[in-house]
């Protein structure tokens, strides 16, 4: 058991018999006759549903211990991704809901962190930003404003808006949650 006031983003808790990952914690101070409370933005680990819940600071919650293992992505089928432990060669399946949209960015052989609940693979702890290569993009607009954007197709087939200076073959950082361009990776020579 853990106090609601001790819960932090990234932890897992069990509510109504279901495991949830805490995505965000907002603390609201009380005033006058209003008592303070804590608001959690949660994601159901098994089914991928989102929820907002409010608790008093002194409420006790069931914390869930998620173990994490580094695994290698093998392939996906219609309902899950298959990952392999490089040391034991054990293969596990993570449902599409458990992958949380990361399947768009997975490449064969990529190393990722798989979260396990009681030995069962349930989710990916996927990075917020990944590097992807631009497969193709049009030429920049000459004489145009610096702030205008153009479309680029990434190696995984996803289309994002990028600044005019981005060219085919560039390596970009992409926000995996918002599916947006972050910046261009500059490779230093020498």
- Domain regions of the chain by residue span: 2-64, 67-125, 129-184
Length of the chain: 190
- Over the stretch 67-112, which tens digit does the pLDDT of each residue have? 889 999 999 888 889 999 988 999 999 888 778 778 888 888 889 9
Position 37 pLDDT exceeds 90: no
- pLDDT score recorded for residue 82: 92
Position 1 pLDDT exceeds 70: yes
The answer to whether 70 touches 83, Cβ cutoff 8 Å, is no
Position 184 pLDDT exceeds 70: yes
- Over the stretch 117-168, which tens digit does the pLDDT of each residue have? 888 888 888 888 888 899 999 876 665 556 688 899 998 888 999 998 888 9
Kindly state the percentage of the chain with pLDDT values over 90: 23
* Fold of the CATH domain 67-125: OB fold (Dihydrolipoamide Acetyltransferase, E2P) (2.40.50)
Q: Do domains 2-64 and 67-125 have the same CATH topology?
A: no
Rounded average pLDDT over 20-25: 86
Write the class of the CATH domain 129-184: mainly beta
Position 190 pLDDT exceeds 80: no
- Report the C-alpha gap between 61 and 84 in whole angstroms: 33
- pLDDT score recorded for residue 78: 85
**Cβ neighbours around 6 below 10 Å, total:** 10
The answer to whether 172 touches 182, Cβ cutoff 8 Å, is yes
Task: Place 48 in a pLDDT band, splitting at 50, 70 and 90.
Answer: confident
The answer to whether 151 touches 135, Cβ cutoff 8 Å, is no
Write the class of the CATH domain 2-64: mainly beta
- Over the stretch 57-69, which tens digit does the pLDDT of each residue have? 888 998 888 888 9
Own/partner pairs, 132-135, CB within 8 angstroms, 24+ separation:
132/105, 132/156, 132/158, 132/171, 132/172, 132/174, 133/169, 133/170, 133/171, 133/172, 134/162, 134/166, 134/167, 134/168, 134/169, 134/170, 134/171, 134/172, 135/168
């Amino acid at each position: 058991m853990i106090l609601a006031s001790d819960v932090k983003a990234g932890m897992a808790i069990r509510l109504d018999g279901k495991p949830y990952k805490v995505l965000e914690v907002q603390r609201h101070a009380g005033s006058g006759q209003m008592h303070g409370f804590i608001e959690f933005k949660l994601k159901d680990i098994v089914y991928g549903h989102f929820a907002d819940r409010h608790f008093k600071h002194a409420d006790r919650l069931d914390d869930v211990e998620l173990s994490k293992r580094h695994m290698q992505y093998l392939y996906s089928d219609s309902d899950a991704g298959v990952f392999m432990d490089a040391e034991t060669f054990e293969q596990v399946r993570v449902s599409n809901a458990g992958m949380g949209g990361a399947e768009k960015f997975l490449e064969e052989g990529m190393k990722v962190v798989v979260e396990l609940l009681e030995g069962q693979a349930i989710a990916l702890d996927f990075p917020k930003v990944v590097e992807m290569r631009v497969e193709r993009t049009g030429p920049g607009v000459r004489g145009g404003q610096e702030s205008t954007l153009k479309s680029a197709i990434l190696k995984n087939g996803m289309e994002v808006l990028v600044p005019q200076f981005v060219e085919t073959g560039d390596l970009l950082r992409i926000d995996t949650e918002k599916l947006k361009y972050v910046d261009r990776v500059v490779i230093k020579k020498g």
